[in-house]
Chains A and B, each alone.
Chain A
Amino acid sequence: GENVEQHPSTLSVQEGDSAVIKCTYSDSASNYFPWYKQELGKGPQLIIDIRSNVGEKKDQRIAVTLNKTAKHFSLHITETQPEDSAVYFCAASPFNNAGNMLTFGGGTRLMVKP
């Protein structure tokens, strides 16, 4: 089955700096890679996703890049703000008959210091 590894497990940045979180996956059949943000006491919320037919996607201060050959993808947050502080999860999903099964990375706790 799929295995997703995520680094770093914690990341502390100064407000206004950029933050980068990296993930690797094992199953070459995976073709959908979402990123979720989980604030304290809440459920994960999708912030951006990318499919295997593109290499990069941006949404305002957030961008995701995908390298299918190397089986890794990254989340980039620019101009970080204190409200970006949360736990971020990457995930991977293959398109197959097992359904829409997301395998999550271990999470990154991002702390943005004012």
Chain B
Amino acid sequence: DTAVSQTPKYLVTQMGNDKSIKCEQNLGHDTMYWYKQDSKKFLKIMFSYNNKELIINETVPNRFSPKSPDKAHLNLHINSLELGDSAVYFCASSLAPFRTDTQYFGPGTRLTVL
């Protein structure tokens, strides 16, 4: 069973479009994250959610809106896509917030904006 899954794996779209990436974890974790990995492999946190509530927002443009329908899901919606949004987006989860627990990463979604 996949612990943290993301769909789609690849996403190619035009500038200005709106797109969503879905993430699900079956680990029973309370905390979920979105990370962005740029073309130079640099990994940076975007958001952290605990039990459906936002706890970290690392100065991400408000075109990015995470949504957590329940604690097992954290989706990322991106409005008005720009060329600079092209990257690999990783979802991750950990047991609880405010603790240094292991973070488990999904396989990533490669977003290409043309």
Partner of A46 from the list B48, B55, B98, B102 (CB cut-off 8 Å) is: B102
In the bound complex, do residue A31 and residue B100 qualify as a contact, i.e. CB atoms below 8 Å apart? yes
Interface band, chain A:
20 to 34
Q: Which of B79-101 contact A (CB under 8 A)?
A: 90, 92, 94, 97-101
Query: Inside 8 A of A87's CB, which chain B residues have their CB?
Result: 41
**Extra 10 A-B pairs, beta carbons < 8 Å, given A38-B41, A100-B31, A100-B97:** A42-B108, A43-B106, A44-B90, A87-B41, A95-B98, A98-B56, A99-B48, A99-B56, A103-B45, A107-B43
9 interchain residue pairs of minimum CB distance:
A32-B100, A43-B105, A104-B43, A107-B41, A99-B55, A99-B97, A44-B105, A43-B107, A99-B48
B51 part of interface (Cβ distance < 8 Å): no
Query: How distant is the Cα of A106 from the Cα of B100 in the complex, in angstroms?
Result: 21
Q: How far is the CA of A34 from the CA of B107 in the complex (A)?
A: 19
A97-114 vs B, CB cutoff 8 Å, 1 = contact: the mask equals 111111110110000000
On B, residues with C-beta under 8 Å from A are 4, 31, 40-45, 48, 50, 55-56, 90, 92, 94, 97-108
CB distance from B8 to the nearest CB of A (A): 14
In the assembled complex, the CB of A36 is this many whole angstroms from the nearest CB of chain B, namely 8
Alpha-carbon separation in the docked complex, A44 to B43 (Å): 10
CB distance from A80 to the nearest CB of B (A): 20
A89 touches B107 (CB 8 A): no
Rounded to whole Å, the gap between the CB of A50 and the closest CB of chain B is 11
The A41-72 residues at the B interface (CB cut-off 8 A) are 41-46, 49, 51
Q: Looking at the complex, which one of B42, B94, B102, B106 makes contact with A104 (CB distance below 8 Å)?
A: B42
A5–B104 CA distance with the chains assembled, in angstroms: 22
